[in-house]
A and B are shown apart, each in its own frame.
Chain A
């Protein structure tokens, strides 16, 4: 008996090992996830540590050194007021990541609450989903501009406005996955055991929506960065002297024929950041999808 049990546990050990190697293979066969993750982590590290170690004030003007090309003491050159572009891009990264991260977190939390309750209660579903439909019908950037026009420009107002813009799409994603899980036998079994609705929603259904939610969160992060840059570019985002990628693009439009680096540097920063986040999202989607094995979809 003892020997048999030992051999069983050895067998299950072997199965676990195999599963682990399978996971590793799946990860390695997914370059998008790795590149996206490394890129994103690099940007975060730069945004956090460069302003700590480089004491240059991003708003310090040196008029004698205006529109310096890259190199020669200024890695990315200087803008029309002689401000160090490299430092400004790094401070801009802080703003973008802060806004994008907050919007991703807030809209996911809010969207999950709305989506889960909507999936479970029919009357609430009708009300909440019609509100979401209404919000989705308005182009996101227009809605954000209108909200900021009403609230005034500040980084918190940008976060609030973008959260309102992105929450409905999270709510829809969560609702759809929750509707599928709701019909599973184990949810019925939980009801039979006398679980309250609250417990069923948060203990049984929530774990099932986490993986689509993670993917959605990374895409919203990327979209929020673009939206924040667009808002700042239009003057409805982060107020002017502060370094943000949108502000820098906006101020470069007068001088970019003479000094193209003033546009290329913040523009490239936006592109790299959004690209790595989108790759991360794509990679996560494939990685978390149990139907995709070793990078290829099973036929």
Chain B
């Protein structure tokens, strides 16, 4: 029974709510998010800055626990174990070993005073109890796997001697050294230029297929999502507003926010001199979240129901869920058009 369950989902988040204290009030940065990640799947999370996507990913490893007061509600089940109830020192065995993270800015995420080889080996020595030599050999293998030319020479280099793309490859090599089951990629391509971005995406996709590890891919770039993810969740102000398989989401975006995000992708057919489409306004701060639908302040279609009552998450086709009044009950017929 347990075995079966393991095969089904690797990570399951149930109604997660993460709050931080601001001026003696608990403000929820993540507000009732549920998601499932299956082995070998790449799940994308898209949203603007402040939508809670990074906080959610950090909560999985409970990174904020160390320096700020945090309140968690809900459950994060990793292979059936609730991570929120684990003591912090037990989390160490999971971090970097079962779940790894790669960050946005590879240069700052690598220690400037240790060589690349030293840093990769250290993770292996820590989690796999390898000897220094074994760890060194394995590190070279990892570097080779991420496509770094001349890995032996790279081992002796310091991070600042490498280019941005190479640094991110080193980060990936380090994250994958212990063969984690889940890789959390927190905007891994934001700091890189477009050609390198393509290479890194290709690498992540390739490693996902070869090693069968799951990836939680966090980004604000719809274009990146379309290229790499199997399924997508769109987040806005701490809530998932729409979730679907990637193709379904791009062909049939339902939530006004998703439609807005897709309309904002610039393409080559834009008329000269015409303004690019934008979503009006900005994300409201956590201290004045609207009472009803979180998106109602910026939505073109918002009415009184939207402003006063939080909308339910409706499944409009298998696997495609939307949190919007326009799709609830008999409201389906109402026209929701793009652009």
User: Which residue numbers of A lie inside 8 Å of B, CB to CB?
Assistant: 5, 12, 122, 184-186, 188-196, 199, 203-204, 207-208
The minimal Cβ–Cβ distance linking B130 to chain A, given in whole angstroms, is: 15
| 23 contacting pairs across A/B (C-beta < 8 A) | A5-B149, A5-B150, A185-B103, A188-B63, A189-B109, A189-B110, A190-B111, A191-B63, A191-B66, A191-B95, A192-B63, A192-B95, A192-B100, A192-B101, A193-B122, A193-B123, A193-B126, A194-B96, A194-B123, A195-B96, A203-B114, A207-B111, A207-B114
Top 4 A-B pairs ranked by shortest CB distance? A193-B96, A194-B95, A194-B96, A185-B108
Q: What chain A residues lie within 8 Å of B123 (beta carbons)? A: 193-194
Query: Which residues of B from 180 to 223 have beta carbons under 8 Å from A?
Result: none
Q: What chain B residues lie within 8 Å of A196 (beta carbons)? A: 89, 92
Q: Is A186 a contact of B112 with CB atoms below 8 Å?
A: yes
Q: What chain B residues lie within 8 Å of A12 (beta carbons)? A: 161
Majority DSSP secondary structure for residues of A touching B: helix
* Bound Cα distance from A15 to B29, whole angstroms: 47
Q: Is A185 a contact of B174 with CB atoms below 8 Å?
A: no
The minimal Cβ–Cβ distance linking B137 to chain A, given in whole angstroms, is: 19
Residue of B whose beta carbon sits closest to that of A204: B111
Q: Mark interface residues in B218-235 (1 if CB within 8 Å of A CB, else 0).
A: 000000000000000000
* Bound Cα distance from A185 to B96, whole angstroms: 15
Q: What chain A residues lie within 8 Å of B67 (beta carbons)? A: 122
Residue of B whose beta carbon sits closest to that of A120: B66
Query: Which residues of B from 142 to 174 have beta carbons under 8 Å from A?
Result: 149-150, 161, 171, 174
* Bound Cα distance from A193 to B91, whole angstroms: 10
Residue of B whose beta carbon sits closest to that of A15: B161
Q: What chain B residues lie within 8 Å of A193 (beta carbons)? A: 95-96, 100, 122-123, 126, 174
The minimal Cβ–Cβ distance linking A112 to chain B, given in whole angstroms, is: 16
User: Which residue numbers of B lie inside 8 Å of A, CB to CB?
Assistant: 61, 63, 66-67, 89, 91-97, 100-101, 103, 105, 108-114, 122-123, 126-127, 149-150, 161, 171, 174
Q: What chain B residues lie within 8 Å of A185 (beta carbons)? A: 103, 105, 108-109
Q: Is A188 a contact of B111 with CB atoms below 8 Å?
A: no
Contact status of A184 and B108, CB under 8 A, knowing A192-B61, A192-B100? yes
* Bound Cα distance from A143 to B149, whole angstroms: 61
Given A186-B109, A194-B126, list of 8 further CB < 8 A pairs? A184-B108, A192-B61, A192-B63, A192-B100, A193-B174, A194-B96, A203-B114, A207-B114
The minimal Cβ–Cβ distance linking A9 to chain B, given in whole angstroms, is: 8
Q: What chain A residues lie within 8 Å of B113 (beta carbons)? A: 207-208
Q: What chain A residues lie within 8 Å of B94 (beta carbons)? A: 194
Residue of A whose beta carbon sits closest to that of B177: A193
* Bound Cα distance from A185 to B171, whole angstroms: 12
Q: What chain A residues lie within 8 Å of B108 (beta carbons)? A: 184-186
* Bound Cα distance from A185 to B103, whole angstroms: 9
Q: What chain A residues lie within 8 Å of B92 (beta carbons)? A: 194-196
The minimal Cβ–Cβ distance linking A206 to chain B, given in whole angstroms, is: 9
Residue of B whose beta carbon sits closest to that of A16: B161
Residue of B whose beta carbon sits closest to that of A182: B67
Q: What chain B residues lie within 8 Å of A186 (beta carbons)? A: 108-112
Q: Is A189 a contact of B103 with CB atoms below 8 Å?
A: yes
Residue of A whose beta carbon sits closest to that of B101: A192
The minimal Cβ–Cβ distance linking A116 to chain B, given in whole angstroms, is: 15
* Bound Cα distance from A188 to B171, whole angstroms: 13
Q: What chain A residues lie within 8 Å of B101 (beta carbons)? A: 189, 192
* Bound Cα distance from A193 to B97, whole angstroms: 7
Residue of A whose beta carbon sits closest to that of B99: A192
Most B CB within 10 A of own CB, among A5, A193, A199 = A193
The minimal Cβ–Cβ distance linking B156 to chain A, given in whole angstroms, is: 12
* Bound Cα distance from A122 to B68, whole angstroms: 10
Q: What chain A residues lie within 8 Å of B161 (beta carbons)? A: 12
* Bound Cα distance from A195 to B89, whole angstroms: 10
* Bound Cα distance from A192 to B63, whole angstroms: 7
The minimal Cβ–Cβ distance linking B144 to chain A, given in whole angstroms, is: 16
Q: What chain B residues lie within 8 Å of A207 (beta carbons)? A: 111, 113-114
Q: What chain A residues lie within 8 Å of B103 (beta carbons)? A: 185, 188-189
* Bound Cα distance from A195 to B95, whole angstroms: 8
Q: What chain B residues lie within 8 Å of A204 (beta carbons)? A: 111
Contact status of A188 and B109, CB under 8 A, knowing A5-B149, A196-B92? yes
The minimal Cβ–Cβ distance linking B215 to chain A, given in whole angstroms, is: 15
